Structure 1
Amino acid sequence: MDSAARLPELDQIPQDKSQTKDVKRKAISSPYFHRLQRKHFLMFDVLPVLGVILAGIMAFYIPVSGVDIGLFIAFWALTGIGVSVGYHRYFTHRSFKARPAVAVTLTILGSMAGQGALLSWVAMHRRHHELSDQPGDPHSPNLQGPGFKGLIKGLVHSHFTWMKEHDYPNVAYYAPDLIRDPLIAKTARHYYTWVILGLVAPAILGGLLSQSLWGVVSGFLWGGAVRMFVVGHIIWSINSLLHRFGTRPYQSRDHSRNGGLFGLFTFGESWHNNHHAFPESPSFGLQWAAFDPGYWFIRGLSLVGLTWDLRVPTVQRRTSRKKRNVQTQQ
């Protein structure tokens, strides 16, 4: 569980075409995978939109209850933490160490978000860091041409449509540490079971708490479909908006930017330039006053011995990566 999988540093990203071509061989373009991607896109990216529409229509006839709001918030927080703390900070970047029970729980919670199976998600994100905003990056908004048209096409691609069909990163290359972990590999294989759990659990709780059949339907919509829609767009906005807009306090060879005002709602993910500058850090905000609920959660677990070895960069290291002139910000 504690074996660390190190990503290439940003200064090791391929800078010439021959190197980029070699990296592309680490991904697979296959009609079989494309069919699976379109199926997943329809089920967990498109259908939740219909759930949002249905919930909105029904709200005109039956007011949204406190139970509905509570279920939405609870499952938004649980699945968001599963993606941000589990999928991203722990499994992709190994930015801290955790007890096996914590790792399994984070696998299940992250899977419930419907963002993709763990090994595929990790492989995809490690490839993103390897080729951030360069050819081969699966969801860069900066590769669709110049001008306003290129901007809009890039944002739409990186936020949503890239998931419909894309090269599939070689999991054996990008995530060998997860393949070798029998407990996590076994848990991750039940991805669709956990996604269904994320939809059924709020429905059951809604029925029990409201003592009504309508509570089952409403719980499914607000704690399941609407929650999945919101969490999904929060995560995707990091890919799209924060590679085009925001501040860039740290040196990086991509276009990652910070949108710190949204840190609370994105579980700290919106400190995106910070993250790309220090991908090994479990803290994305990097400062005590920054809104970073994901890191607060990790710190809370560390206080009771469930996580440890939190490798937050020192002040000296952060200072050394600060931008020194306007030219480096281009």
Structure 2
Amino acid sequence: MVPLFFAAHWALSVFFQSLFQHRYAAHRMYTMKPRTERALHLCTALVQGSSYLDPRAYALLHREHHAFADTKRDPHAPTHHGNPLRMMRETARRFEGLLTRRLRSEPRFEGGYPEWPFAERVFNHWTSRVAFGTLYTLFYKRFATRRWHWALLPAQFVLGPIHGAIVNWCGHRYGYRNFGTRDESRNTLPFDVLCMGELFQNNHHARPASPNFASRRFELDPVWHALRLLSRLKLVRLQSSPTSRGGSAPEATSALAA
């Protein structure tokens, strides 16, 4: 039961991170009605739980990443960090500064992301994170049948940062390249169900406005197919074609083209 719970939480957490924080908040690859946005925002917060990622801070950090990819100004460039843990620490510091507004991003990165003060107050507060962590722990206490099951629990507390670290470390170090971008982005897996298409980093950096992160016939991007379904159900409206190049949200176009 515990491994299934961990696997389901992993898949759903990275799915909503890719769908909502990345493709919507950071890039605005699709639009939707305010009520649908709130519903998706709430689902994302409940699923991510203790590792909920604030959409505004996520969008700002990610736009900086595109503008300064693999340079010293990139908030998470593996080429400038000795190991993934060091990269995660520096990314967390920058994210926390943007979240609390102690640090400011450039004006060109501002705007175009969802803001919901109520959800931000509730799910960014330490009490909510502790409450979710307590629920996970109680589940393990009830259903863990092997000692090694408990080794999964610490990772479950911080799934969001772990997903980000995997994508940014592996997606800029290991794999193949379809496009000759100016950065070190790579496609780590040809069938990316581990990170729901996020490991097609070379495709994404070459075509940052495309809602489909896959480029070749053998590549599989699960979130793109979910977006196609949502579009057919008229819950979202795609902003660009799957092969378009260029920027993302209008406010960040110049940043992503840098």
1:176 matched to 2:111? The reply is: yes
Determine which of 221, 226, 234 is the counterpart of 2:163.
Answer: 234
User: Using a 3 Å threshold, how does the CA distance of structure 1 residues 165 and 229 change in structure 2: closer, same or farther?
Assistant: closer
User: Using a 3 Å threshold, how does the CA distance of structure 1 residues 191 and 273 change in structure 2: closer, same or farther?
Assistant: same
* Map of 2:209 onto structure 1: 280
Contact 1:199 1:223 in 2 (8 A): no
> What aligned pairs does 1:67-86 form with structure 2 within 5 A after superposition?
68-86=2-20
* Map of 2:180 onto structure 1: 251
Q: Give the structure-1-normalised TM-score.
A: 0.59
225-234 vs 290-299, which moves further: 225-234
SS in 2 for 1:176: coil
- Structure 1 residues not aligned, in runs of 5+: 1-65, 145-152, 208-212, 319-330
* Map of 2:60 onto structure 1: 123
Contact 1:269 1:284 in 2 (8 A): yes
* Map of 2:256 onto structure 1: none
Contact 2:53 2:160 in 1 (8 A): no
User: Using a 3 Å threshold, how does the CA distance of structure 1 residues 202 and 303 change in structure 2: closer, same or farther?
Assistant: farther
AA partner of residue 274 (structure 1) = N
C-alpha separation in 2, matches of 1:94 and 1:264: 22
Deviation at 1:200, TM superposition (A): 5.1
Deviation at 1:78, TM superposition (A): 2.3
* Map of 1:312 onto structure 2: 241
SS in 2 for 1:243: coil
C-alpha separation in 2, matches of 1:249 and 1:289: 12
User: Using a 3 Å threshold, how does the CA distance of structure 1 residues 164 and 260 change in structure 2: closer, same or farther?
Assistant: closer
Q: Give the structure-2-normalised TM-score.
A: 0.73
Contact 1:262 1:270 in 2 (8 A): no
AA partner of residue 54 (structure 2) = A
1:157 matched to 2:115? The reply is: no
User: Using a 3 Å threshold, how does the CA distance of structure 1 residues 278 and 314 change in structure 2: closer, same or farther?
Assistant: closer
Q: Deviations over 1:145-184 (max 9, x none)?
A: xxxxxxxx155533x2323544755258323233xx55x3
* Map of 2:122 onto structure 1: 190
Which structure exhibits the higher relative contact order, with contacts defined as CA atoms closer than 8 Å and separated by 6 or more residues? 2
C-alpha separation in 2, matches of 1:171 and 1:74: 34
C-alpha separation in 2, matches of 1:257 and 1:125: 17
Deviation at 1:224, TM superposition (A): 6.2
C-alpha separation in 2, matches of 1:306 and 1:201: 31
1:214 matched to 2:130? The reply is: no
Deviation at 1:122, TM superposition (A): 1.2
Contact 1:243 1:255 in 2 (8 A): yes
User: Using a 3 Å threshold, how does the CA distance of structure 1 residues 172 and 254 change in structure 2: closer, same or farther?
Assistant: closer
User: Using a 3 Å threshold, how does the CA distance of structure 1 residues 172 and 76 change in structure 2: closer, same or farther?
Assistant: same
SS in 1 for 2:202: helix
AA partner of residue 3 (structure 2) = I
Deviation at 1:244, TM superposition (A): 1.8
Deviation at 1:233, TM superposition (A): 2.6
AA partner of residue 298 (structure 1) = L
Give percent identity, aligned residues only. 23
Determine which of 220, 225, 232 is the counterpart of 1:303.
Answer: 232
Contact 1:141 1:155 in 2 (8 A): yes
